[in-house]
Structure formats: C-alpha cells, structure tokens
Structure 1
C-alpha cells in the first residue's frame, strides 16, 4: 500500500514538473471528434490543379470554400476531402457510376466525418436534349433515373418503331429516385436569380438548332436527370431516355449524366435521400442538329464544338453556392431537416 502511494505521488510530481516545463501535451478531446458536415459538395472531375488553371467541375467550388483548407486523404476515395470551418466539405469523386459511388462510400464510412445531418450537392457538367435545355443551363434534378438497368435489343429484332428497352425486374429500388420536392423547391427558389454567364461561341452554336429552347439564353431549370455509364447520343437514344423517364413516372428528361443515381443509392443506404440534390450544367446537346449525323456531332471538326464550357462550370458554382450559403447561414433552421417552403 505504501509503495502504491509513493508511486502515485511520484507520477503526479513528474506530471506537474513536465507541465511546468511545457513538455507534456494533454489530449485535446475536440481534435478527436469527427467533423460535423453541414453540406458536402461532390464534383466528378477536375481538369488540372484545384486552382490557377483551366477550371473543371471542382475548381470554382474549391476557390470559394477550401483554398485555405488542408486536404484529407480518405482510404478508398479517388481524391482528398476538403472542409472549411463552417462545415462545408467537398471532394472529386471520379467519373462514372462505379468510380464515383465507391469514392462516396469510402468518404461516408470515414470516422473523421459525421454526415448524420449533412446535405449533399452532386454537381457536374452534362448534356441536354435541345427540346428541353440549352448550353449554359443549370438544372436541379427532381428525379434521378438509371438509364442502364434493363434489357435492350437491336431495333431490327423488334417491331418497327417500338421501344427497344424493357426494365429488369428486381431493380425497382435502385433505378429511380424522387428527390425531396421541398429541398428541390428551395434550391430552385434560391438560385433562380443567379446571373448566369454566357459566351458568343455558345450563342452562335445554339442557332444551329431549330428548337426555341435550344436557342434560348441559359436558365435555372428542373426535371429528370438520366444517369448512364453509356454515353448515349443521338435523337433515337434521346427519345428512349424520355420514354424511360415517362415509363417510370418521372418528370421530363432534361439532363444526361453519369453518376448521380449511383451516388444517391450509396447515400440512401446510410442516410436516406431527403437531403440530396443533383445540380448539373449543360455543356452539350445530346444530339446533333438536323444538318449533321450523330457521328459527326460526336466527332466534330475543329472549331465546331459547342463552346460555353468555362461559363457553364462557373454557372454551376454560382447557382449552387447560393444554396450552400443559405443552409450554413440558417443552420439552426436546417439542422433537423428541410424547412417548409415559404408561401408565394
């Protein structure tokens, strides 16, 4: 007993001495606690560096929120995660369904982060049918539909003019997501007044298309985003995408992209989909104009591309940051869930 008392006194004296010398570091409890994420912004690719060169999908977000934030490598994720002091985090997930969703899964499982109350903005560039959108548009998804999950066959193997797609049974909960209408409504309301950039090249390119919507100036829109690893193209497959959207009871197909439905499924399995948004900017039409074939549109001659890419990636962040900033500023109101939309 006496030896134990002497031992404890000796340890206590040593601790006091080292504290006085400033050589002991007590554990900081706050440092071990996970970051409480308020908003997570996902981009799919960046062209070069995160800042200072040609901007891809991530650069404008990075320059707004994370220039002073250190990178945090996450095992299993393609790129590091960045977080600022306001709880706004983001990362480049990678292109395509498998690439992006595996990164998202790794990030959600990292104990460094608490996503239990987080909102997600899945952002990137996309295509649009000329009857529903134009170059420079930014679109909030009301529905996400997986384009690939089903059966397809060659047109000559079916009846002329009939669809060549049939949904596969068993994928009902994987292939279709209706995003929270109240949250989508907030996103549209907050971003509708955004001053969207445009370019002379994009204006000239639009005039190749006869559709009024294709010729219009960029706008904030909403509708179904079609997710497909298949980079479908041409009026026939665009018509098929619209057919699938209607077959599933979703809104008009307005955006073709490669990741959102897959990422949303990963988030759904842990946190549901009530706090998920998909934001896309249109940088191309999903088909050629009446004077070119689909292959000519996919492989254009020099100087014949759409233009407007730089302006569109800026538009994505300009519209999306309005939603991010609103949620963070009014966090006490948003923390427990999406507030009711104010009356008109």
Structure 2
C-alpha cells in the first residue's frame, strides 16, 4: 500500500512539473551568429565622435539586450538577429580575457559563432595607405621570443630577434585562408571614404603606396602589447615575421593573437575574422621625429573608423542573411 502511494505521489509530481514547464515555456539561450569585437570607444556609444564601436552600436545594438560579463568592466549586446558586440578592451590580456568570458558564459550559444575583430591599426608607408582596410590571413606576435635592442647587436650581425619554438602556438597563427579570402572577395569593391587632410599628410612620405587611395587589402597582422613606433621597430617586426616564414606584415595592432588563442581554445579559430583599418603609419617621415609622428594629426582616424565599419558590417550582414547555409558551412571562394 505504501509503495503504491509513493508511486501515485511521484506521478502527480511529474504531471505537475510537466504542466508547469509547458505553461512557462522553455527559455532558450540566445544564439550568437556573429560576435563583433572592438577595442575602445572615444565617448558615448552613439551620437558623438565615433571610435571603433559606435558605428556598429548605432546600426546593430541601440535598443538590443545587454548582458554584464562577470565583474568585467564591459557590456555585451545581442540583437534579435543574433548579432552580438562589445568593447573588448585594449592589449592582449584584456582581449583574451574578454573573449574567454563570452565563450565560456553558459547563457549564450556560441557553438557556431563567427568572430569578427574590427579595429584600427598602423601600417608601413611602403605597403599601403591611410584609410586602407586589411583582412588578416596570418597573425604574428611581436613580443614572444628572445629579442634585444640594436645597441646590443653582436659584431658582424644584424639580428635583433631569435624565435623560440615554445611560443609557436600563440606566436604564429594562420587563420582560415578560405574564410579570409571570402571576406576579401565579398568586400574588395566596397567604396571607401577618403579625407583631404589625410591626402595631404600622405604626401610627406612620398612612396607610391603611401600616395594611393584607400582600398581593401589582405596581409599579415602583427600583435604587440607595446605600442611601438619607428623605422627600426618596423624592421624588427619584419624580422619576427620572417622567422615564422609569414612574409612582410601589412598592419600592426595590440590584440589579434590574443583573440585568436582564445578562439582556438574554444574550437572557433576557423570562424575568426580580423579586419583592421589603417589610421596611422608606423614610422615617421623623413625629417620627422618619432615623438612628432606619434603626436601628428594625419586626418585618418575618423576615416578609418568609417572604412573599417563599412567593410566589417558588409561581412556581418552577409553571414546573417545566409545563416541557414553558413551556420554549418564556413564560406569560401572555392
């Protein structure tokens, strides 16, 4: 009798739970289709002088649901189309911890997420021009390895860097070439803006590449926590890239390898896209000091913010519009 009573009670509890769940509905996790990562904003997220995040916020996230990430000083926005975005912070430590926090948060479904890093960077004046937008195909860490200053170069040598294989996993990262090629092909004809002040500043450098109009390009992106600047630092960057057989770099920045390591750790490296707009040359022109170059106003900042958004948002829109295909099949030009 007692056993029969227990069975009846169990059945009643199960019926109650089933009825209650049916009435409430099952709360599903928001699916993040594309995650946009910018590094900073100048002021407010909308309506004033735009930094990296503002154009994305105004198009995708104004009024979107916002989430706090642990105790980190940032907010993640997710709109109804499955586009998410946040200000991730500058430098490798902040970048990696931000992406790790998002990908490990049980509130979100990131199993098929494409990650778009969209931010500004520098460029050698012999490889492109102010206002360019560069899709990265390889990432090289400027800091990892053994290095020394020019004053400590051994007699008869020119080397300032020695690669250490122990750093290879994060020191050199090859992105999904098919995805990068697709992003470039999708955006290479996007009409970019130019600026008269930037055009005048380019003329100080004189190289054919520096005098060109802004364009979408592809190349190697070099990551350094130290915001280095100068011709010899640029030569050192070339030396570090050569040690990985990565070729000449196109853009410099402070976060890309860190984002890539976090994406790698969560099995999403094949879905990582890096898009960098050029707001400065990484060295002074003839007769200009490094400090003068760092303090110079080239007219490229707002132009870069606009061009980076024009290119990056084109890819975001394409991925979301064709989500039924791209959820399981990574886009390619093949």
Match of 2:61 in 1: 66
User: Do the aligned residues in 2 keep the contact of 1:138 with 1:316 (CA within 8 Å)?
Assistant: yes
Within 1, Cα distance between the matches of 2:119 and 2:96? 14
Q: CA deviation at 1:153?
A: 1.6
User: Quick one: which of 205, 208, 226 aligns to 1:209?
Assistant: 205
Q: For 1:113, what is the secondary structure of its paired residue?
A: coil
User: Quick one: which of 99, 112, 116 aligns to 1:117?
Assistant: 112
Q: CA deviation at 1:112?
A: 1.2
Structure 1: tracts of 5 or more residues without a match = none
Within 2, Cα distance between the matches of 1:61 and 1:260? 19
Q: For 1:319, what is the secondary structure of its paired residue?
A: helix
TM-score by length of structure 1 reads: 0.89
User: Quick one: which of 19, 43, 52 aligns to 1:48?
Assistant: 43
Q: For 1:48, what is the secondary structure of its paired residue?
A: coil
Give the 5 Å matches for 1:52-201.
52-158=47-153, 159=155, 162-201=158-197
Within 1, Cα distance between the matches of 2:121 and 2:302? 13
Q: CA deviation at 1:325?
A: 0.9
The question of 1:332 aligning with 2:324 is answered: yes
User: Do the aligned residues in 2 keep the contact of 1:77 with 1:107 (CA within 8 Å)?
Assistant: no
Q: For 2:309, what is the secondary structure of its paired residue?
A: helix
Within 2, Cα distance between the matches of 1:296 and 1:311? 21
Match of 1:264 in 2: 260
Within 2, Cα distance between the matches of 1:199 and 1:186? 28
Q: CA deviation at 1:204?
A: 0.6
Match of 1:285 in 2: 281
Within 2, Cα distance between the matches of 1:160 and 1:210? 32
Supply the RMSD in Å over aligned alpha carbons.
2.2
User: Do the aligned residues in 2 keep the contact of 1:78 with 1:92 (CA within 8 Å)?
Assistant: no
Q: For 1:35, what is the secondary structure of its paired residue?
A: coil
Aligned length in residues? 324
Q: For 2:168, what is the secondary structure of its paired residue?
A: coil
TM-score by length of structure 2 reads: 0.91
Match of 1:241 in 2: 237
Q: CA deviation at 1:83?
A: 0.9
- Find runs of 4+ consecutive structure 1 residues off by over 3 angstroms: none
Q: For 2:246, what is the secondary structure of its paired residue?
A: coil
The question of 1:294 aligning with 2:295 is answered: no
Within 1, Cα distance between the matches of 2:151 and 2:305? 40
Match of 1:28 in 2: 25
Within 1, Cα distance between the matches of 2:49 and 2:291? 28
Q: Deviations over 1:121-167 (max 9, x none)?
A: 11111111001121111100010111100112232322356121112
User: Do the aligned residues in 1 keep the contact of 2:163 with 2:243 (CA within 8 Å)?
Assistant: no
Within 2, Cα distance between the matches of 1:118 and 1:243? 34
Q: For 1:239, what is the secondary structure of its paired residue?
A: helix
